[in-house]
Structure 1
Amino acid sequence: MKKIYCFWIFVLSCIFFIGCHSTKNYDLKKDKIEKVSKNNDSNAYFKIIGTEPFWNIEISEEKISYSQIDGVKIEFPYNLPLIDKFAETKIYKTVNGNGSILIKLTKGSCSDGMSDKIYEYNAEVEIIQFKKTTKHKGCGYFVANELLSGTWFLSQIKSKKISNNQISVVPFIEFDLENNRVSGNASCNGFSSSFILKNDKISFKEILLTRMFCEDLTLEKNFIESLNEINSYKVDGDELKFYKEGFLEMVFEKK
Protein backbone atom coordinates (compact mmCIF):
# COMPACT_ATOMS: atom_id res chain seq x y z
CA MET A 1 0.00 0.00 0.00
CA LYS A 2 2.83 2.31 0.89
CA LYS A 3 4.50 1.62 -2.47
CA ILE A 4 1.30 2.47 -4.38
CA TYR A 5 0.93 5.68 -2.40
CA CYS A 6 4.53 6.71 -3.16
CA PHE A 7 4.01 5.88 -6.84
CA TRP A 8 1.01 8.21 -7.15
CA ILE A 9 2.87 10.98 -5.30
CA PHE A 10 5.66 10.62 -7.87
CA VAL A 11 3.22 10.73 -10.83
CA LEU A 12 1.45 13.83 -9.52
CA SER A 13 4.80 15.54 -8.93
CA CYS A 14 5.85 14.85 -12.53
CA ILE A 15 2.58 16.21 -13.90
CA PHE A 16 2.93 19.35 -11.81
CA PHE A 17 6.53 19.83 -12.94
CA ILE A 18 5.68 19.36 -16.63
CA GLY A 19 2.71 21.72 -16.36
CA CYS A 20 4.84 24.43 -14.76
CA HIS A 21 7.59 23.91 -17.32
CA SER A 22 5.10 24.18 -20.24
CA THR A 23 3.58 27.36 -18.81
CA LYS A 24 7.03 28.85 -18.42
CA ASN A 25 7.89 28.07 -22.05
CA TYR A 26 4.60 29.57 -23.23
CA ASP A 27 5.18 32.73 -21.21
CA LEU A 28 8.72 32.97 -22.55
CA LYS A 29 7.53 32.59 -26.14
CA LYS A 30 4.74 35.09 -25.58
CA ASP A 31 7.26 37.52 -24.10
CA LYS A 32 9.48 37.12 -27.17
CA ILE A 33 6.54 37.76 -29.51
CA GLU A 34 5.64 40.93 -27.63
CA LYS A 35 9.25 42.13 -27.74
CA VAL A 36 9.44 41.55 -31.50
CA SER A 37 6.16 43.37 -32.13
CA LYS A 38 7.17 46.34 -29.98
CA ASN A 39 10.75 46.57 -31.23
CA ASN A 40 9.87 48.43 -34.42
CA ASP A 41 12.18 50.87 -36.16
CA SER A 42 10.36 54.21 -35.88
CA ASN A 43 12.41 55.51 -38.82
CA ALA A 44 11.38 52.70 -41.16
CA TYR A 45 9.88 53.97 -44.39
CA PHE A 46 9.14 50.56 -45.95
CA LYS A 47 7.90 47.29 -44.42
CA ILE A 48 7.64 43.73 -45.71
CA ILE A 49 5.52 41.06 -44.02
CA GLY A 50 5.17 37.33 -44.51
CA THR A 51 3.71 34.17 -42.99
CA GLU A 52 4.65 30.54 -42.37
CA PRO A 53 6.41 31.36 -40.13
CA PHE A 54 5.49 34.99 -39.41
CA TRP A 55 8.33 37.37 -40.21
CA ASN A 56 8.86 41.01 -41.17
CA ILE A 57 11.46 43.33 -42.60
CA GLU A 58 11.79 47.05 -41.90
CA ILE A 59 13.85 49.31 -44.17
CA SER A 60 15.11 52.68 -42.97
CA GLU A 61 17.85 54.94 -44.27
CA GLU A 62 20.19 53.54 -41.62
CA LYS A 63 19.54 49.78 -41.66
CA ILE A 64 17.51 46.82 -42.86
CA SER A 65 16.07 44.73 -40.00
CA TYR A 66 14.75 41.17 -40.37
CA SER A 67 12.66 39.73 -37.51
CA GLN A 68 10.90 36.43 -36.85
CA ILE A 69 8.04 35.78 -34.45
CA ASP A 70 10.29 33.57 -32.28
CA GLY A 71 12.49 36.55 -31.44
CA VAL A 72 15.25 36.15 -34.04
CA LYS A 73 16.40 39.53 -35.32
CA ILE A 74 19.14 40.22 -37.86
CA GLU A 75 20.29 43.67 -38.93
CA PHE A 76 22.13 44.80 -42.06
CA PRO A 77 23.53 48.19 -43.05
CA TYR A 78 21.41 50.11 -45.57
CA ASN A 79 22.38 50.29 -49.23
CA LEU A 80 20.57 52.19 -51.96
CA PRO A 81 18.45 49.84 -54.10
CA LEU A 82 19.03 49.08 -57.74
CA ILE A 83 15.95 50.26 -59.65
CA ASP A 84 14.65 48.82 -62.90
CA LYS A 85 11.88 51.23 -63.97
CA PHE A 86 10.97 49.13 -67.00
CA ALA A 87 10.34 45.99 -64.91
CA GLU A 88 9.07 48.09 -61.97
CA THR A 89 11.44 46.37 -59.54
CA LYS A 90 13.75 47.44 -56.73
CA ILE A 91 16.60 45.26 -55.47
CA TYR A 92 18.25 45.78 -52.09
CA LYS A 93 21.49 43.88 -51.48
CA THR A 94 23.71 44.32 -48.44
CA VAL A 95 25.96 42.30 -46.12
CA ASN A 96 26.82 42.10 -42.44
CA GLY A 97 29.62 40.21 -40.71
CA ASN A 98 27.83 36.86 -40.94
CA GLY A 99 26.18 36.89 -44.35
CA SER A 100 23.92 38.84 -46.69
CA ILE A 101 20.37 39.76 -47.56
CA LEU A 102 18.80 40.16 -51.01
CA ILE A 103 15.37 41.77 -51.34
CA LYS A 104 13.55 41.99 -54.67
CA LEU A 105 10.44 44.18 -54.73
CA THR A 106 8.11 44.04 -57.72
CA LYS A 107 5.23 46.47 -58.04
CA GLY A 108 1.86 44.75 -58.15
CA SER A 109 -1.07 43.68 -55.99
CA CYS A 110 -0.08 41.34 -53.18
CA SER A 111 -2.18 39.53 -50.55
CA ASP A 112 -0.78 38.20 -47.29
CA GLY A 113 -3.31 35.35 -47.34
CA MET A 114 -4.50 36.25 -43.84
CA SER A 115 -6.71 39.27 -44.49
CA ASP A 116 -8.54 41.15 -47.22
CA LYS A 117 -5.86 43.83 -47.31
CA ILE A 118 -4.01 44.28 -50.61
CA TYR A 119 -0.43 45.57 -50.57
CA GLU A 120 1.37 47.37 -53.39
CA TYR A 121 4.55 45.28 -53.73
CA ASN A 122 5.43 41.59 -54.04
CA ALA A 123 8.62 40.72 -52.18
CA GLU A 124 11.18 37.93 -52.59
CA VAL A 125 13.78 37.65 -49.85
CA GLU A 126 16.96 35.59 -49.55
CA ILE A 127 18.95 35.70 -46.30
CA ILE A 128 22.31 33.97 -45.80
CA GLN A 129 23.62 33.80 -42.24
CA PHE A 130 26.40 31.46 -41.05
CA LYS A 131 26.20 29.69 -44.43
CA LYS A 132 22.50 28.91 -43.90
CA THR A 133 20.12 30.18 -46.60
CA THR A 134 16.52 31.22 -45.85
CA LYS A 135 14.06 32.23 -48.58
CA HIS A 136 10.74 34.01 -48.13
CA LYS A 137 7.94 35.50 -50.21
CA GLY A 138 5.77 38.30 -48.82
CA CYS A 139 4.14 41.68 -49.37
CA GLY A 140 5.61 45.15 -49.01
CA TYR A 141 4.27 48.66 -48.51
CA PHE A 142 5.42 52.19 -47.76
CA VAL A 143 4.73 53.13 -44.15
CA ALA A 144 3.64 56.64 -45.13
CA ASN A 145 1.01 55.19 -47.47
CA GLU A 146 -0.57 53.46 -44.51
CA LEU A 147 -0.50 56.58 -42.33
CA LEU A 148 -1.38 59.29 -44.84
CA SER A 149 -3.80 57.48 -47.14
CA GLY A 150 -7.31 58.86 -47.43
CA THR A 151 -8.82 62.36 -47.54
CA TRP A 152 -7.99 64.83 -44.78
CA PHE A 153 -10.25 67.82 -44.04
CA LEU A 154 -8.97 70.94 -42.30
CA SER A 155 -10.31 71.35 -38.75
CA GLN A 156 -7.89 73.93 -37.37
CA ILE A 157 -5.41 76.44 -38.77
CA LYS A 158 -3.10 78.09 -36.26
CA SER A 159 -5.46 78.54 -33.27
CA LYS A 160 -8.65 78.97 -35.31
CA LYS A 161 -11.16 76.10 -35.50
CA ILE A 162 -12.82 75.39 -38.86
CA SER A 163 -16.39 74.08 -39.18
CA ASN A 164 -18.78 73.30 -42.03
CA ASN A 165 -21.16 76.01 -40.82
CA GLN A 166 -18.62 78.77 -41.41
CA ILE A 167 -17.64 78.09 -45.02
CA SER A 168 -19.14 76.41 -48.06
CA VAL A 169 -16.05 74.32 -48.90
CA VAL A 170 -13.81 72.91 -46.15
CA PRO A 171 -10.17 72.75 -47.33
CA PHE A 172 -8.91 69.21 -47.78
CA ILE A 173 -5.79 67.37 -48.90
CA GLU A 174 -5.10 63.97 -50.51
CA PHE A 175 -1.69 62.29 -50.84
CA ASP A 176 -0.27 60.42 -53.81
CA LEU A 177 2.77 58.79 -52.14
CA GLU A 178 3.84 56.93 -55.25
CA ASN A 179 4.36 60.13 -57.26
CA ASN A 180 5.15 62.42 -54.30
CA ARG A 181 2.19 64.66 -55.09
CA VAL A 182 -0.74 66.11 -53.13
CA SER A 183 -3.98 67.64 -54.34
CA GLY A 184 -7.08 69.13 -52.78
CA ASN A 185 -9.01 72.32 -52.28
CA ALA A 186 -7.92 75.44 -50.38
CA SER A 187 -11.58 76.54 -49.74
CA CYS A 188 -12.13 78.13 -53.15
CA ASN A 189 -9.49 77.02 -55.61
CA GLY A 190 -8.15 73.55 -56.18
CA PHE A 191 -4.44 73.06 -55.58
CA SER A 192 -1.69 70.55 -56.27
CA SER A 193 1.90 70.31 -55.16
CA SER A 194 4.96 68.11 -54.96
CA PHE A 195 6.31 67.26 -51.53
CA ILE A 196 9.38 65.83 -49.83
CA LEU A 197 8.83 63.27 -47.07
CA LYS A 198 11.55 61.94 -44.76
CA ASN A 199 10.70 60.26 -41.45
CA ASP A 200 8.54 62.86 -39.63
CA LYS A 201 9.74 65.72 -41.84
CA ILE A 202 7.63 67.05 -44.71
CA SER A 203 7.77 70.06 -46.99
CA PHE A 204 5.64 71.17 -49.92
CA LYS A 205 7.10 72.58 -53.13
CA GLU A 206 5.66 74.43 -56.14
CA ILE A 207 2.05 74.77 -54.96
CA LEU A 208 -0.21 75.38 -57.95
CA LEU A 209 -3.70 76.92 -57.69
CA THR A 210 -6.63 77.18 -60.06
CA ARG A 211 -8.03 80.70 -60.60
CA MET A 212 -11.68 80.72 -59.66
CA PHE A 213 -13.37 83.88 -58.40
CA CYS A 214 -14.42 83.89 -54.74
CA GLU A 215 -15.61 86.80 -52.62
CA ASP A 216 -13.50 85.98 -49.57
CA LEU A 217 -10.05 84.43 -50.03
CA THR A 218 -8.83 84.97 -46.46
CA LEU A 219 -8.92 81.29 -45.47
CA GLU A 220 -7.41 80.20 -48.76
CA LYS A 221 -4.54 82.66 -48.37
CA ASN A 222 -3.84 81.47 -44.82
CA PHE A 223 -4.08 77.83 -45.91
CA ILE A 224 -1.51 78.18 -48.70
CA GLU A 225 0.84 80.29 -46.57
CA SER A 226 0.76 77.71 -43.80
CA LEU A 227 1.27 74.84 -46.24
CA ASN A 228 4.40 76.59 -47.54
CA GLU A 229 5.83 76.95 -44.04
CA ILE A 230 5.22 73.60 -42.33
CA ASN A 231 8.22 71.25 -41.98
CA SER A 232 7.04 68.25 -39.91
CA TYR A 233 3.94 66.16 -39.39
CA LYS A 234 2.34 63.63 -37.05
CA VAL A 235 -0.55 61.22 -37.58
CA ASP A 236 -2.49 60.80 -34.35
CA GLY A 237 -5.39 58.40 -34.93
CA ASP A 238 -7.82 60.18 -37.27
CA GLU A 239 -5.92 63.47 -37.00
CA LEU A 240 -3.09 64.71 -39.20
CA LYS A 241 -1.08 67.52 -37.63
CA PHE A 242 1.31 69.84 -39.43
CA TYR A 243 4.00 71.73 -37.51
CA LYS A 244 6.22 74.73 -38.19
CA GLU A 245 9.46 74.55 -36.21
CA GLY A 246 7.72 72.41 -33.58
CA PHE A 247 4.65 74.64 -33.24
CA LEU A 248 1.24 73.31 -34.30
CA GLU A 249 0.18 75.02 -37.51
CA MET A 250 -2.65 72.94 -39.02
CA VAL A 251 -4.90 70.05 -37.97
CA PHE A 252 -6.80 67.80 -40.39
CA GLU A 253 -9.37 65.09 -39.73
CA LYS A 254 -9.95 61.96 -41.79
CA LYS A 255 -13.56 61.45 -42.86
Structure 2
Amino acid sequence: MKKFFMFALMVPAFIGSLISCSNAKMTAQQLEGKWNIVEVKGEKVTAENTPFMEFDMKENKLHGNAGCNIFNTSVTVDEKDASALSIAQGMTTMMACPDMDTETKILQSFESVKGVKAGANANEAQLVDGEGNVVFLLKK
Protein backbone atom coordinates (compact mmCIF):
# COMPACT_ATOMS: atom_id res chain seq x y z
CA MET A 1 0.00 0.00 0.00
CA LYS A 2 2.86 2.38 0.81
CA LYS A 3 4.37 1.73 -2.61
CA PHE A 4 1.09 2.66 -4.28
CA PHE A 5 0.88 5.99 -2.41
CA MET A 6 4.53 6.78 -3.19
CA PHE A 7 3.93 6.00 -6.85
CA ALA A 8 0.73 8.09 -6.86
CA LEU A 9 2.64 11.05 -5.44
CA MET A 10 5.71 10.67 -7.65
CA VAL A 11 3.95 10.56 -11.03
CA PRO A 12 2.38 14.06 -10.78
CA ALA A 13 5.65 15.47 -9.43
CA PHE A 14 7.60 13.96 -12.32
CA ILE A 15 5.13 15.24 -14.92
CA GLY A 16 5.17 18.68 -13.31
CA SER A 17 8.94 18.83 -13.47
CA LEU A 18 8.88 17.95 -17.18
CA ILE A 19 6.35 20.66 -17.93
CA SER A 20 8.24 23.28 -15.93
CA CYS A 21 11.50 22.45 -17.76
CA SER A 22 9.91 23.04 -21.15
CA ASN A 23 8.83 26.52 -20.07
CA ALA A 24 12.18 27.49 -18.55
CA LYS A 25 12.76 31.20 -18.50
CA MET A 26 15.68 32.80 -20.25
CA THR A 27 16.65 36.44 -20.28
CA ALA A 28 18.21 38.36 -23.13
CA GLN A 29 21.34 38.83 -20.99
CA GLN A 30 21.89 35.06 -21.08
CA LEU A 31 22.49 35.31 -24.85
CA GLU A 32 25.95 36.74 -24.14
CA GLY A 33 28.53 35.01 -26.33
CA LYS A 34 28.65 33.05 -29.56
CA TRP A 35 25.75 30.88 -30.77
CA ASN A 36 25.55 28.78 -33.94
CA ILE A 37 22.36 29.19 -35.97
CA VAL A 38 21.04 25.64 -36.49
CA GLU A 39 17.47 26.41 -37.63
CA VAL A 40 15.70 29.37 -39.20
CA LYS A 41 11.88 29.32 -39.06
CA GLY A 42 11.85 25.54 -38.61
CA GLU A 43 14.30 24.73 -41.42
CA LYS A 44 17.66 23.20 -40.56
CA VAL A 45 20.64 25.28 -41.66
CA THR A 46 22.87 23.28 -43.98
CA ALA A 47 25.23 26.06 -45.08
CA GLU A 48 28.82 25.06 -45.78
CA ASN A 49 30.04 27.68 -43.27
CA THR A 50 28.02 27.47 -40.07
CA PRO A 51 26.18 30.77 -39.57
CA PHE A 52 26.51 32.24 -36.10
CA MET A 53 25.45 35.14 -33.88
CA GLU A 54 27.69 36.65 -31.23
CA PHE A 55 25.92 38.80 -28.66
CA ASP A 56 27.63 41.52 -26.63
CA MET A 57 24.81 42.32 -24.21
CA LYS A 58 26.80 44.93 -22.27
CA GLU A 59 27.00 47.03 -25.44
CA ASN A 60 23.69 45.77 -26.95
CA LYS A 61 25.57 44.69 -30.08
CA LEU A 62 25.20 41.66 -32.30
CA HIS A 63 27.58 40.51 -34.99
CA GLY A 64 28.07 37.27 -36.81
CA ASN A 65 28.10 35.45 -40.09
CA ALA A 66 24.97 34.57 -42.07
CA GLY A 67 26.74 31.74 -43.91
CA CYS A 68 28.99 33.87 -46.10
CA ASN A 69 28.63 37.56 -45.30
CA ILE A 70 29.39 39.19 -41.98
CA PHE A 71 26.68 41.27 -40.29
CA ASN A 72 26.75 43.89 -37.53
CA THR A 73 23.70 45.28 -35.80
CA SER A 74 22.28 46.20 -32.41
CA VAL A 75 19.75 44.63 -30.05
CA THR A 76 17.24 46.33 -27.82
CA VAL A 77 16.10 44.72 -24.57
CA ASP A 78 12.76 45.69 -23.04
CA GLU A 79 13.31 47.22 -19.57
CA LYS A 80 10.04 45.71 -18.28
CA ASP A 81 10.50 42.19 -19.71
CA ALA A 82 14.02 40.74 -19.56
CA SER A 83 13.16 38.09 -22.15
CA ALA A 84 11.87 40.60 -24.74
CA LEU A 85 14.34 41.85 -27.32
CA SER A 86 14.44 43.07 -30.88
CA ILE A 87 17.19 43.04 -33.49
CA ALA A 88 17.71 46.15 -35.61
CA GLN A 89 18.31 46.05 -39.34
CA GLY A 90 22.08 46.05 -39.63
CA MET A 91 24.92 46.24 -42.07
CA THR A 92 26.42 43.32 -43.98
CA THR A 93 29.31 42.73 -46.31
CA MET A 94 28.24 42.21 -49.93
CA MET A 95 30.09 39.11 -51.16
CA ALA A 96 28.38 36.83 -53.68
CA CYS A 97 27.91 33.40 -52.16
CA PRO A 98 26.83 29.99 -53.47
CA ASP A 99 23.98 29.68 -50.91
CA MET A 100 22.26 33.05 -50.85
CA ASP A 101 18.88 31.49 -49.91
CA THR A 102 19.97 30.60 -46.36
CA GLU A 103 21.78 33.91 -45.96
CA THR A 104 18.77 35.92 -47.14
CA LYS A 105 16.40 34.00 -44.86
CA ILE A 106 18.64 34.63 -41.84
CA LEU A 107 19.04 38.35 -42.51
CA GLN A 108 15.35 38.90 -43.27
CA SER A 109 14.29 37.02 -40.12
CA PHE A 110 16.00 39.47 -37.76
CA GLU A 111 13.02 41.83 -37.85
CA SER A 112 10.69 39.02 -36.67
CA VAL A 113 12.55 38.48 -33.39
CA LYS A 114 10.67 39.78 -30.34
CA GLY A 115 11.99 37.60 -27.51
CA VAL A 116 14.12 34.75 -26.24
CA LYS A 117 13.16 31.40 -24.70
CA ALA A 118 15.25 28.59 -23.31
CA GLY A 119 15.89 25.64 -25.57
CA ALA A 120 15.85 21.94 -24.75
CA ASN A 121 19.02 22.25 -22.66
CA ALA A 122 21.48 24.86 -21.34
CA ASN A 123 23.31 24.97 -24.68
CA GLU A 124 20.22 25.96 -26.68
CA ALA A 125 18.26 29.18 -27.04
CA GLN A 126 15.26 30.10 -29.14
CA LEU A 127 14.70 33.55 -30.61
CA VAL A 128 10.93 33.88 -31.06
CA ASP A 129 8.45 36.20 -32.76
CA GLY A 130 5.62 38.07 -31.03
CA GLU A 131 3.39 34.97 -30.98
CA GLY A 132 6.12 32.74 -29.53
CA ASN A 133 6.94 30.96 -32.80
CA VAL A 134 10.60 29.98 -33.09
CA VAL A 135 12.47 32.19 -35.56
CA PHE A 136 15.99 30.97 -34.74
CA LEU A 137 17.20 27.90 -32.89
CA LEU A 138 20.67 28.63 -31.54
CA LYS A 139 23.25 26.26 -30.03
CA LYS A 140 26.46 27.01 -28.15
Mapped to 1, the partners of 2:118 and 2:61 lie a distance apart of 18
User: Which residue pairs with 1:157 in the alignment?
Assistant: 40
1:189 aligned partner, one-letter code? N
Matching residue of 1:169: 49
Given that 2:52 and 2:64 are in contact with CA atoms closer than 8 Å, whether structure 1 keeps it comes out as: yes
Deviation at 1:216, TM superposition (A): 2.5
Q: Could you tell me whether the CA contact under 8 Å between 1:148 and 1:235 is conserved in 2?
A: no
**CA distance 1:206–1:157, shift in 2 (3 Å):** closer
| RMSD (Å), alpha carbons | 2.0
Distance in 2, matches of 1:247 and 1:151, equals 22
Provide the residue aligned with 1:242 in structure 2: 127
Cα offset, 1:195, TM superposition: 1.0
> Residue 214 and residue 253 in structure 1: after superposition, are their counterparts in 2 closer, same or farther (change >3 A)?
same
- One-letter amino acid of the structure 2 residue matched with residue 253 of structure 1: K
Q: Does 1:185 align with 2:72?
A: no
Give the C-alpha shift of residue 248 in structure 1. 1.3
- Using the alignment, how far apart are the partners of 1:250 and 1:190 within structure 2? 17
Q: CA deviation at 1:156?
A: 1.0
**2:55/2:62 contact within 8 Å kept:** yes
Partner Cα separation in structure 2 for residue 161 and residue 167 of structure 1 = 9
Q: 5+ unaligned residues in a row in structure 2: which ranges? A: 1-24
Q: Is 1:195 aligned with 2:105?
A: no
Residue number in structure 2 paired with 1:251: 137
Structure with the higher helix share, 1 or 2: 2
**What is the letter of the counterpart of residue 252 of structure 1?**
L
Q: Which has the higher contact order (CA 8 A, sep 6+)?
A: 2
Q: Is 1:205 matched up with 2:85?
A: no
Secondary structure in 1 matching 2:68: coil
Measured after TM superposition, the shift of residue 170 of structure 1 is: 1.2
**Count of residues in Structure 1 that have an aligned counterpart in Structure 2:** 110
Cα deviation for residue 150 of structure 1 reads 2.2
**Runs of 5+ unmatched residues, structure 1:** 1-41, 46-142
4+ runs deviating over 2 angstroms: none
Question: Retained in 1: the 8 A contact 2:88–2:110?
Answer: no
Identical residues among aligned pairs (%): 26
Match of 1:116 in 2: none
Q: 1:161 to 1:215 in 2, by over 3 A?
A: closer
Output the CA distance in 2 between the equivalents of 1:196 and 1:184.
Answer: 17
DSSP-derived class of the 2:127 partner: strand
Query: TM-score, normalized by length of structure 2?
Result: 0.71
Deviation of 1:225 (Å): 1.1
Larger radius of gyration: 1
AA in 1 matched with 2:58: E
Task: Name the SS for the 1:214 alignment partner.
Answer: coil
Q: How does 1:51-90 map to 2 (within 5 A)?
A: none
3-state SS of paired residue (1:206): coil
Q: Secondary structure at the match of 1:225?
A: helix
Question: 1:201, 1:155 → 2: CA distance?
Answer: 21
d(CA) in 1 for partners of 2:93 and 2:42? Answer: 27
1:220, distance to aligned residue in structure 2 (A)? 0.6
